[in-house]
């Protein structure tokens, strides 16, 4: 494992540094979940908690939404919203809908979502990161912040996944 944030071939300027951070975060996540079985992925530490499987889908959902916002400059359409809704908002609906899938299912979704991100980022120039936009409520943001948020959300949920894994081991 390389513990340096550095330029990546095929990415312009700071875009390569962003990719370096996104990829490191993902590698650590994948190492954390590599040995989980379906029961582990569907485990609930307590009433109202989210499963690891739901958190993995949430990580992909956040990345997908940020692809749409930053690369396509639009919101989710109805079909996309229907597919990702439970993963985006988690909670009871996610608990009812996101379950009974093997690790390979979640890995495929994570991989496909990330591949699209990397492909799109490779086509952008560094200046794109600083392109400013406004939410409907007038709050300003730029593309760099959007992709920072994707990474920080993944890291946050990776912490939850580690906690759930500890609880799983304790309850075995």
Indicate which CATH number applies to the domain containing 77.
1.20.120.450
Report the residue count for the chain: 172
Q: Is residue 1 part of a domain?
A: no
Grouped pLDDT means (10 residues each) for the chain, 172 residues: 81 93 96 95 91 98 97 95 96 94 98 98 96 91 96 96 91 72
Compute φ and ψ for 133, nearest 5 degrees.
-140, 175
Question: Which residues, other chains included, contact 39 with Cβ-Cβ below 8 Å and sequence gap of 6+?
Answer: none
Q: Is residue 7 part of a domain?
A: no
Domain extent for 66 = 14-170
Q: Is residue 8 part of a domain?
A: no
Q: What pLDDT, on the 0 to 100 scale, is given for residue 48?
A: 87
Q: What pLDDT, on the 0 to 100 scale, is given for residue 1?
A: 67
Overall number of domains in the chain: 1
Q: What pLDDT, on the 0 to 100 scale, is given for residue 46?
A: 87
Q: Is residue 84 part of a domain?
A: yes
pTM to 2 decimals? 0.95
């Amino acid at each position: 494992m390389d513990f340096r944030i550095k330029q990546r071939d095929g990415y312009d300027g700071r875009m390569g540094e962003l990719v370096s951070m996104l990829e490191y975060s993902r590698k650590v996540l994948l190492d954390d979940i590599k040995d989980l079985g379906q029961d582990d992925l569907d485990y609930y530490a307590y009433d109202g908690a989210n499963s690891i499987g739901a958190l993995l889908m949430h990580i992909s959902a956040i990345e997908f939404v940020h692809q749409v916002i930053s690369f396509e400059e639009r919101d989710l359409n109805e079909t996309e919203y229907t597919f990702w809704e439970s993963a985006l908002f988690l909670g009871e609906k996610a608990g009812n809908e996101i379950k009974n899938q093997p690790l390979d299912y979640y890995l495929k979704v994570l991989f496909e979502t990330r591949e699209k991100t990397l492909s799109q980022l490779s086509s952008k120039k560094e200046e794109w990161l600083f392109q400013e936009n406004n939410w409907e409520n007038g709050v300003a943001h730029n593309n760099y912040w959007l992709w920072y948020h994707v990474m920080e959300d993944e890291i946050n949920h990776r912490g939850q996944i580690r906690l759930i894994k500890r609880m799983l081991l304790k309850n075995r």
